[in-house]
Chains A and B, each alone.
Chain A
Amino acid sequence: MAWQEKPLGFFTDTSICIGCKACEVACKEWNQLKGDPATFTADSYDNTGQLDAQNWRHVQFIEQIPDNKGTIATPTPIAGGQAWLMMSDVCKHCKEASCLEVCPTNAIVRTEFDTVFIQPDVCNGCRNCISACPYGVIGFNEQAGVAQKCTLCYDRLQGGLQPACAKACPTESIKFGYIDDLHAVADDRLAALQKAGYQKAQLYGRDTKVYGGLNAFFLLMDKPEVYKLPNEANATLPSRNNLPGYVGGVATAVLGLIAGLVAFRSGRMSGTDHTTTGRS
């Protein structure tokens, strides 16, 4: 089966993520990533740390145990994906992608599936995309000398397969498919959770408010910041600073030029002894 050339992506439902990291491992196996050197971080069950060139999937563990009594769901539910949040993070394949915007070599392209792909043979390792990605997704692979991140398994998609991580996910927390279909699934799930009283449950990147919509969007059980995701107010493109940056520069340049001209021109004043020892 081949995939149609329509936006494809992920809906990651964090409320049913069991933090098994199968996605992390499947991604590494398929993409032949070794992982960073093993270190014990003492940060809950997360020893991966971050998304980078060796980790294109990263499962976050956020402990939010409210008190220390043996505690039960009601009235403030601590179970049900709320007290220990797990979230499998990945490149968001932003519709308006910061990385793609700044890349000077056109190494970063949008594929026929509307995913964001770094062409490894085009990238020259300038790392501008890293400074741009608001999600800290991209890493620099020292050996290869290029920037790397989730390819949304472009190779597998071209072969009609689904991404390795989604395939490995036992609970279908990572759902892969056409974005339009996933939107409907996500809306239903959100409605069910809200009905069950999970007031903080929310979709992230399902609408256009963050980066024009994310092709890897999420259902979160708390505010985006808790998951290290910029909220709507903070989700801004790097290019927002182009115009102000240049205007500031030009204004400074004009002031500088005037200052220079003034400084140099007014040198004609007489009577100063500075001129007396001149050669001319």
Chain B
Amino acid sequence: MVSLAATFGRGAMTNHWRDIKHADVILINGANPAEAHPVGFQWFVKAKLDPTKGPGAGGGAKIIHADPRYTRTSAMSDMYLRIRTGTDVAYFGGLINYVLQNTLYHEDYVKNYTNASFIVKEGFDFKDGLFSGYNPATRSYDLSTWAYELTAPPAQAGGQVEGPATTQTGFAKRDMTLQDPRSVFQLLKKHYSRYTPDMVASITGIPADQFLQVAKIVGEMGRPDKVMTIVYAVGLTHHTTGGQLIRSGAVLQLLLGNIGRPGGGMNAERGHANIQGNTDHAISWEILPGYLRIPAPGQKNLDDYVRQSAPVKSDPNSWNFFGLNYRNFMVSLLKGWYGAAATKDNEYAFNFIPKPATNSSWMSIYDQALKGKMEGLILNGMTATSIGPDVNQVLQALSNLKWLVIMDPLPTTSSEFWHGPDMDPSKIQTEVFMLPTTHWIEKDGSFVNSGRWMQWKEQVIPPEGQAQHDHWIFADLFDRVKSLYKQQGGKFPDAINAMTTDWYKDPKKPELDEIAKEINGKDLATGKQMSSFANLKADGTTTAGDWIYTGSYTEDGNLSKRRNGIQDPAKNDPTGMGFYPMWAWSWPLNRRVMYNRASADSDGKPWDPKRPGIQWNGTTWTGDVPDYPATMNPKDPASWNPFIMNGEGVGRLFSSAMLDGPIPEHYEPVEAPIANPLHPSQSEDPVVFLYDQAAGRPNRFGKVDKYPYVATSYRLTEHEHYVTQHVPLLVGLQPQAFVEIPEELANEKGIKNGDRVRVFSERGKIEVAALVTKRLGPMTLAGNKTVYHIGIPIHWGFIGVSAEQNPERSKYWLANALTPFVGDVGARTPEFKAFLVNIEKI
């Protein structure tokens, strides 16, 4: 999500599920949608079955799947590439190189809709695997060397021209011929010239001839009448290079002119049914709802905050919508939270918001607990123990706590963590509280899917036993904390006491519908619900609990409840493009394909008239809800660029918003079977966050001599993480933990199908059954090194139907006993998908 925001301006699937049926080519990398998103996969199948889609003369969309394992998705694909885990930058880089060398990019698009023509400041460099500005002591980059060269000062003054990393005083210089050696285009070309088919082969293991077959098809997708989508999920994110892996695909898509177009896009398939909603509502520590940044220490007032957080307008034709409105959104949020207590005089209670001084991401929590710096932890619908990484260390962290609260409808490996492998309950002092909550099926509320559709659901069954709704537990907790503050005072009571609960009839039992209404926000003057975030104000007269949802709950009611769908396509899908604007509601402003201005050329004509996103009819934009001013004439030379959220107004091939490099570069996973063929001296990502090292604990990484096999962990259709271990019918479909091992490796090791094996890493072990298969197999790397993958499904632990039936056998079933405790520098995502192990027959 970080990398999409750094490229296009918003961190979400650019298109939506239904839209995938418009694609000619579907590139799937680091995702297994047939297994992890089986229902969404119907749209892949529809594209495949549609004879008007596809490269060349059509005959159905081509699905190309790159995955270390041959999966159920591969079985549905037209081509399958066995790729080494963690090497997709090299694969995409090779494709980028092919497209650039053979001039297959979409020229008009690249010139006008991307920052290809932008000139990068003198001093930017890339050498021996390091970009300019690296500081080995802090293991970080000084991002200022990645800035644009600036020209004249900005046309108009205003808060929005200042920026975070670059204190900039003008617009970026551009060379529309793309010839300047310091133009992004030429830098890109130079950078990727190293990614030859042979280099791709030696890094990824994909034979060069196979790679070239794919390149030929992909290259065709730069034509305006063809369109390709890239689909990915956590097969790309679960790496220390996750951000770069995703950005490399995004760069390819920009070059091919496939962003903003129906059938195109960079489509992140999200995880849990409502993980998109979670992200939007600030599940990560570094943002506030709607991707506003969390205030940083030193920001004394709103001005400081906005100056350091909002995107900077860096092109005269950039609307810089986000930057322009940053303050409006923030003030409306504060006003929604603190109501009357947020006034102009107290900067709308800006100071009530904490300003975290250290990274507080998910792994940091365990890290703090390990250091003994955390007293208690509330796990709400999250199974810390199972999800890892490095379960043994997580279990240690939980043991260090004074208290642990589990809010969950079911027992989890965390609510009973003292039963974990090699745990001695007599030595654990942690007091554990189990608060039974309702399951989502026992309450109403909304799910926001990957395609950003907020869809309301009804309560299906009444709550069981003493279970309470999560939001009621939190409301009750809040109420109690508030009374404690009232009774006993405290260091900073205002931030709690001033929070408004005006929105709810019963503040201790808020309705989810009331919360949805609150999130949308209202005009305080009229009392009416806001209909668009464009009308939010910075003067304290409007509220918005999450500005990107403004427009979802208007005076017409809760729009996410709308159900005008395929029962009447003629009426409900007037464009015939499957937008179904009256089905539920999608952020932003019910737009179905984001950045859709880029689906049309400079004159406003669709690149492909058969697949229009929006088009200019002379007076307005028609089609999807335009991601653009509805009546802005594209022929007006002053009209805005298409990517309205970026300061540049264009998509970023080169992005200084990434912490580990403006151009995606291949780095090896922290545990890798070979040294990086591109630059062995700088094999892994130089800024990857090494928790153990940073905390003064020894790093526990395995080397290839002791752990010669590459492991990757993943899902199976039959289970939903750990929770379906409680569902007998699903347990029947996949009853026990196993690993998948290639036939050749099994033969070498004398392992027969069904045997029990021990797989171990520098951190722990699992003892499970072996499924011997040809779906995994050897690959040849760096010229002549043979490497095997071992596949590790994640779903088992010591809780659940089969584990409890067989406690002895299930003792070492936690996949995450093996995974390393490291995180990607931006999102701090653990490296679940690439680590080294060894295997032996038990």
Contact = CB atoms under 8 A, between A and B. Distances in A.
Interface in B23-81: 34-35, 38-39, 41-42, 45, 48-49, 51, 59-60, 63, 65, 70, 72-81
B730 interface: yes
A79 B735 contact: no
Nearest to B38: A20
B286 to A, nearest CB: 35
Contact of B80 (A22, A47, A72): A72
B728 A20 contact: no
B769 A40 contact: yes
B82 A70 contact: yes
A269 interface: no
Given A16-B49, A18-B38, A196-B60, A63 B742 contact: no
B774 interface: yes
B717 A19 contact: yes
B779 A70 contact: yes
B70 to A, nearest CB: 6
B729 interface: yes
A69 B208 CA distance: 12
**Among the interface residues B45, B73, B769, which one has the most CB atoms of the partner chain A within 10 A?**
B45
A22 B778 CA distance: 32
20 contacts: A18-B34, A18-B73, A18-B76, A21-B733, A25-B733, A34-B729, A42-B754, A42-B770, A47-B732, A65-B777, A69-B82, A70-B210, A72-B213, A72-B214, A73-B79, A79-B77, A80-B76, A80-B77, A84-B70, A85-B75
B744 interface: yes
Given A25-B729, A172-B42, A172-B45, A72 B70 contact: no
B742 A20 contact: no
A71 B77 contact: no
A81 interface: yes
A226 to B, nearest CB: 15
B45 A65 contact: no
Contacts of B773: 44, 63, 65
Given A47-B735, A63-B774, A35 B728 contact: yes
Contact of A22 (B38, B77, B736, B772): B38
Interface in B69-100: 70, 72-83
Closest 5 CB pairs of A and B: A70-B82, A42-B754, A38-B735, A65-B774, A68-B777
Contact of A80 (B59, B78, B205): B78
Contacts of A70: 80-83, 205-207, 210, 777, 779
A39 B769 CA distance: 12
A38 B207 contact: no
A84 B716 CA distance: 15
Interface of B: 34-35, 38-39, 41-42, 45, 48-49, 51, 59-60, 63, 65, 70, 72-83, 205-207, 210, 213-214, 716-718, 728-736, 738, 742-744, 753-754, 769-775, 777-779, 801-802
B35 A77 contact: no
Contacts of B80: 70-73, 78-79, 83
A36 B60 CA distance: 40
B522 to A, nearest CB: 39
Contact of B742 (A39, A40, A45, A68): A68
B717 A48 contact: no
Given A21-B733, A68-B774, A170 B38 contact: yes
Contact of A170 (B41, B60, B754): B41
Contact of A68 (B42, B76, B744): B744
A149 to B, nearest CB: 19
Contacts of A20: 34-35, 38, 72, 717
A86 B731 CA distance: 20
A196 B772 CA distance: 32
A1 to B, nearest CB: 13
B218 to A, nearest CB: 13
A192 interface: yes
A195 interface: yes
Given A20-B34, A65-B775, A68-B777, A73 B78 contact: yes
B168 to A, nearest CB: 46
Nearest to A59: B733
Contacts of A22: 38
A41 B736 CA distance: 10
A76 interface: no
B75 A19 contact: yes
A190 to B, nearest CB: 13
Contacts of A36: 732
Interface string A3-43: 00000000000001011111011001100001111111110
A270 interface: no
Nearest to B71: A84
Nearest to B777: A68
A171 interface: yes
Contacts of B731: 38
Contacts of B77: 73, 79-80
A9 B210 CA distance: 42
A18 to B, nearest CB: 4
Contacts of A44: 771, 773
B38 A83 contact: no
A40 B779 CA distance: 29
A241 interface: no
Contacts of B729: 25, 28-29, 34-35
Nearest to A74: B213
**Among the interface residues B35, B75, B80, B779, which one has the most CB atoms of the partner chain A within 10 A?**
B75
B540 to A, nearest CB: 48
Given A42-B754, A172-B42, A48 B76 contact: no
A79 B65 contact: yes
Given A63-B773, A79-B77, 6 more contacts: A40-B736, A68-B774, A70-B82, A83-B80, A84-B74, A85-B75
Contacts of B65: 79
Contacts of A18: 34-35, 38, 41, 72-73, 75-76, 717
Interface in A102-156: none
B41 A171 contact: yes
Contacts of A42: 738, 753-754, 769-772
A20 B772 CA distance: 20
A45 B32 CA distance: 15
